[in-house]
Amino acid sequence: MVSGVGNAPLVVGVDSSTQATKAVVVDVETGEIVAEGRSAHTVSGSGGARESDPRDWWRALGEALAATGRAERAEAVSVGGQQHGMVTLDADGEVVRPATLWNDVRSAPQAEALVAARGADWWAGRVGSVPTAAFTATSWAWLRENEPESADRARHVRLPHDYLTSRLIGSRQGVTDRGDASGTGWWSPAGYDHEVLELIGLDASALPEVVEPGKAAGEVAAAIAGQGLPLRAGALVASGTGDNMAAAVGLGLRPGAPVISLGTSGTAYAVTSRRPADPSGIVAGFADALGDWLPLACTLNCTLAVDKVAALLGRDRQDVEPGGEVVLLPFLDGERTPNLPYASGLLAGLRHDTTPGQVLQAAYDGAAYALLAALHDVQGDEGADEPLMLIGGGARGRAWRDTVRRLSGRPVLVPEAQELVALGAAAQAAALVTGERADEVARRWGTRRGVLLDPLPRDEAALERLGAAFERARPLLDAPLGR
């Protein structure tokens, strides 16, 4: 047995996100992070395009593992990765073109055409979600229409976490899990939906094997370890999962507990035992990593959008001021919830006495309002007595915490654990070592311990202004300016 703290084994959890790869080395018995490492990614593209070279993720994985100084002692490893991204590989397993990411909205026309071809009810019933721009299925349809040579060269299609996991075990066939696969638009509880695949022109042979929850995907290949990757050959490799599913595992979520994640994107979700199917398209009917379901609504514009407004105003991100009537809808990169892929930011209600701090607060309000509306679509009134769990980088900020409390009127729980995606992946790896369920591991580790903040009185006036602004602005936001 490989020694951890004392004689406890160690495992590695990886979070391959939009901006960087983070790796944590965790003591299986206590859940203590004994080492961590990080390496940045490059994201390119302008307008609606957002792409990364998957080989950059592999480089970053090696650097993050090396930075821990202890990854080679781990008995198991698991990767959590950004959802939806599409990796295309040729017959030799080489990258065909940069991967399209979850926030690449160029496939909006293809999403509209696919929904029109079968209807929203059909999609919700078949795969649990109505595809929007950046679902893997719509990205593939975009590639076939716009880069047919690349689509013809592609023999394997992977998600970001699939790509890394498959390279770790040296598998050309590839492996994935039900959680991440459920975000493609071509997976159902019965497996890959061949009618969807026929509709978008993709053969099932290009897709990876879906590993059952709790099962190992394989072992770290000797050839990979021999190339200098700081992992032990033969160490177990878990199936991994998508980042939202990994965070849910990392929190040890039980059904009904509501979560709002404040990161590059904003997400609102909760675990449920019932399979969701929302024909409105607001709620994505994702699977979780363990056999249940993870209905989720996602907004594209969250912390980065607010930080951009702060930079334009020349203010620190926490430097907000109360008061005023200004409303800011921070849809700087288009938007997914509500489904407005062509939208841009919109500012209204300026007065002579409006201050920069009030404009910045309005950016927070607009982003938080969209997320709270999304959470209501996910849960309705279920779990209304539960504190809102606030996670992600934004959850560390006073302005974000106060804004969510003021607009929701609910208590907020901010867990101390900061790398929940990586911790969730580590819990998956630990489960292979101990034989527990991964969420049981996370609960044993106490990952939900944190600060419980009392609610603030609901700001009904701000909520009314925001609701009115959303409704009045929608016709303007539904199409690109100038069309």
Quick check: bond before 338 cis, omega within 30? yes
Rounded to an integer, what distance in angstroms lies between the CA atom of residue 95 and that of residue 93? 7
Give DSSP secondary structure letters for 4-59.
Answer: -STT--EEEEEEE-SSEEEEEEEETTT--EEEEEEEE---B--TT--EE-HHHHHH
Enumerate the β-bridge partners of residue 129: none
Closest CA to 237 of 172, 164, 291, 181: 164
Rounded to an integer, what distance in angstroms lies between the CA atom of residue 5 and that of residue 147? 51
Enumerate the β-bridge partners of residue 16: 21, 81
Q: Are 192 and 204 in contact (CB under 8 A)?
A: yes
Enumerate the β-bridge partners of residue 10: 27
Closest CA to 66 of 235, 236, 228: 228
Token pair, residue 359, equals 């404009």
Token pair, residue 12, equals 């590695």
Give the H/E segment covering residue 299: strand 293-299
Rounded to an integer, what distance in angstroms lies between the CA atom of residue 311 and that of residue 360? 10
Is the torsion defined by CA of 86, 87, 89, 95 positive or negative?
positive
CB atoms within 10 A of CB 273: 9
Closest CA to 42 of 13, 21, 14, 65: 21
Give DSSP secondary structure letters for 226-295.
Answer: HTT-SS-TT-EEE--EEHHHHHHHHTTPPTT--EEEESSSEEEE--BSSPP--TTSSSEEEE-SSSSEEE
Phi, psi of 66 (to 5 degrees): -65, -35
Which residues are known to be catalytic? 243
Q: How many CA atoms lie within 13 A of 152 on its CB side?
A: 5
Rounded to an integer, what distance in angstroms lies between the CA atom of residue 316 and that of residue 57? 31
Cβ density class 423-441: b for 16+ within 10 Å, e for less: bbbbbbbbbbbbebbbbeb
Enumerate the β-bridge partners of residue 332: 334
CB atoms within 10 A of CB 206: 16
